[in-house]
Structure 1
Amino acid sequence: MHTVTLFIPALFWPHASANHDAPIVRTLRTLIGRGDAGTSRCDDEQAWMCEQFGVPRQADWPAAPITLLGTGMLPAADFWLSADPVHLQVNRDQLILLAPETLSITDAEAVALCAALNRHFATDHFIFLAPQPHRWYLKTVQPARIQTHSLSRAIGHDIDRMLPEGEDRLAWHRIFNEVQMLLHAHPVNEEREQRGALAINSLWFSGGGTLPQASTSFEAVVGSSALARGLSKLADISFTSAEQGLTAIGASNVLIELRDTEIASTRLDPAAWKAALEDLERCWFAPLAGLLKKGRIRKVVIATVADGRSYSWSVSRMNMLRWWRSAAELNVPSRAD
């Protein structure tokens, strides 16, 4: 009988400044309210995924080489960092990071900017790659001895307290500044600004490491991200696109990664986040609750990460009989430190 684990980044709206109507997700609230709750420290979504596959933290969680593998490229034994193209927006005395997805970067722009970066950093033996216009990578000869914050944690926040830390931090702060100066003066950004588009004025470095080994108790992964695809390749288990819906559930212990809410969150769009969560209610939460009540599946686990902690709710058929448990509010659970 199936155990289904749903991992949903941005299950809770992560940007406190936004006002929005609460999503109508009665089944989700019931599942959370009646489930057995658990919580533990967890840096972010990348850390959660790595931990499920037994991937240890290096200086960082090595998300960059894993996602590169998930895009179909071979990281080999090299050291890789994510070097995602972003816009830093001045807000009084802050620099707020806007996600790559908000920039509508073209293939030609990505190729031109990476070529300029490769020329500039040739003596450092840096190689910038853009297998996708909004996802770039950097290969270095020497491992970067830094700890970084993932892109998902930095989006919508002031970057001042989120710059690289560690033994090589000063060198990477210099690189960060050099990148900004190069991008600012590049014709690609001059053209973007002339047509009213946001400049690609910085890169966000994160997830550095070499390709690890992986193993997991999951027998299959259903998802959409390059990270999930890369981890499934490392663990030698099947990967199916989440677009196939419930028909993708074939194994008895399956991890389902649903990133629709995260995509809306990266765009700082609360209306889209609300719509995405309501779509998940129709396509996943309500049907799975029905299968649970009928005894067709053994257990549903809902998991997310927020504010440096992971949260999970394990729901069995017996849990669904807890009629006295009220539906949960859709907020980050309070906890005693």
Structure 2
Amino acid sequence: MNINLLIPNLFWSDTSQPEIYDGLLIDSLETLLSKGISKTNSSLEMETWLCKQFNLEQQHGNWPIAPLMLHIDAPALAKTSKDFWMCADPVHLRIEQNHIMLADSQSFKISPEEAEQFMQDLNRYLGNSNFIFSAFHPHRWYIRIPNAPEMQTHTLSQVTCKNINNFLPTGKDSIIWHKIFNEVQMLLHEHPINQSRESRGELVINSIWFGGGGNILRSIHSPYTHIWSNDDFSRSLALASSINHLNLPTDVNNWLQTKTSGNHLVVLDSLRSPAKYRNAYEWRETLKNMEHNWFLPLYRAIKNGKVSRLTITTSNEIASNDFAITRSDLWKFWLFSKPLSTHG
């Protein structure tokens, strides 16, 4: 069994807060990282890394998130559509000092009824024969257009909790989409649903984020035999490439006892949200749980020969790192275990 463990934000990206690592009892993780062979690469968001692993290329300067997600949200269209699909995800924008910050749906909830009403109004006032808004999932909205715009975008995950001015679309057709972006904000500003949300103390949906556009991909090759995750994008890749996808195991020790052969991708993305939203307490507590639930069992499994090779992949705003560990690496007595902060 070979395992690639993908853990976004395993390292805290704010280097001015070294104290965040103080008191963390994560001996198994630190041993695995210290004994393994490490490689540092440029920073990649999780979706970008996954696209690259599956040998996918950008389409017109965009990673094809939307057409892949259709495999989950609209399977029939994922098989037949010839249009260009782009994410038009609901977001909350707020002004902070001299810039505008974006919060994604991890910060709010939208009911199916609210999403459907938003779609009806967006299509009534802004939609036409050239583009149609759809909400196949309350938190994942799409726009369908006949042809690909000459425009480069950033994915939602790249801009979450960031100043949007640094990530707006660029390219020949970007001015058209800036106009649509502004018109959407005007429509949503006084929308009755947002007035109701505000009266209940909920965040309003005051904008959408365009990104992740592409045409349906007809053939995708997977480097893995299995994907284990609770993340929808990795599940969409499994569906698109016709490989096994299962939710994360609740008991890692029992899972390792099955000795399922093949190359397994395991996506542990629960550090991602607290890292992006700078929730230090939640990030630390989540990492402690990972030590008990994942790193300690995996350390033992490698030592006992149940796992042939473990690769830990992580990325944050600074860099991405790979740590490859085999059973023989654990016997490198001259390599002492070093604190987590020294690896990131």
TM-score if structure 1 supplies the norm length?
Answer: 0.91
Change (3 A) 1:330 1:177: farther
RMSD: 2.2
Contact 1:68/1:226, CA 8 A, preserved across alignment: no
Q: Are positions 1:272 and 2:282 aligned together?
A: yes
Is 1:66 equivalent to 2:68 in the alignment?
yes
| Corresponding position of 2:103 | 98
Alignment partner of 1:232 is 2:238: yes
Work out the CA distance in 2 between the residues paired with 1:277 and 1:285.
10
Q: Is the CA contact (8 Å cut-off) linking 1:192 and 1:198 kept in structure 2?
A: yes
In 2, the alpha carbon distance for the partners of 1:167 and 1:123 equals 21
Indicate if the aligned counterparts of 1:80 and 1:139 stay in contact, CA closer than 8 A. Answer: yes
1:157-181 deviations in Å (ceiling 9; x for gaps): 1111111112211111111111111
Q: How does 1:1-337 map to 2 (within 5 A)?
A: 2-14=1-13, 21-22=20-21, 23-41=24-42, 43-58=44-59, 59-71=61-73, 73=75, 74-75=77-78, 76-123=81-128, 125-212=130-217, 213-246=219-252, 247=254, 250-307=260-317, 309-331=319-341
Measured in 2, the distance between the counterparts of 1:18 and 1:184 equals: 37
3-state SS, counterpart of residue 318 of structure 1: helix
1:64 partner amino acid: A
Contact 2:12–2:316 (8 Å) recurs in 1: no
Mean CA deviation greater in 90-99 or 247-256: 247-256
Residue 325 (structure 1) shift: 2.5
Cα distance in 2 for residues equivalent to 1:211 and 1:290: 42
The 8 Å contact of residues 299 and 314 in structure 1, kept in 2 or not, is answered as: yes
Tell whether the 8 Å contact from 1:48 to 1:310 is kept in structure 2 after alignment. Answer: no
Aligned-pair distance for 1:210?
Answer: 1.2
CA distance in 2, matches of 1:171, 1:37: 45
Structure 1 pair 87–34 and aligned structure 2 pair: CA distance change class (3 A): same
The answer as to whether partners of 2:8 and 2:271 remain within 8 angstroms in 1 is yes
Task: Tell me how far 1:204 sits from its aligned partner.
Answer: 1.2
Q: Percent identity?
A: 32
- The residue type paired with residue 82 of structure 1 is C
Is the 1:118–1:127 Cα contact (8 Å) retained in structure 2? yes
What's the CA shift string for 1:113-155, capped at 9, x where partnerless? 1211111222253222223222222212221322222222211
Q: How many angstroms does 1:236 deviate by? A: 1.5
CA deviations 1:22-66 (Å, max 9, x no partner) are: 343221122112111113335421111011111122121101111
Mapped to 2, the partners of 1:332 and 1:159 lie a distance apart of 31
Q: How far 1:331 moved relative to its partner?
A: 4.5
**TM-score normalised by the chain length of structure 2:** 0.89
How far apart are the structure 2 equivalents of 1:174 and 1:232?
36
**Structure 1, unpaired ranges of 5+:** none
Report if aligned partners of 1:101, 1:267 keep a CA contact under 8 Å in 2: no
Matched residue pairs, number?
A: 333
- Residue type at the aligned position of 1:159: I
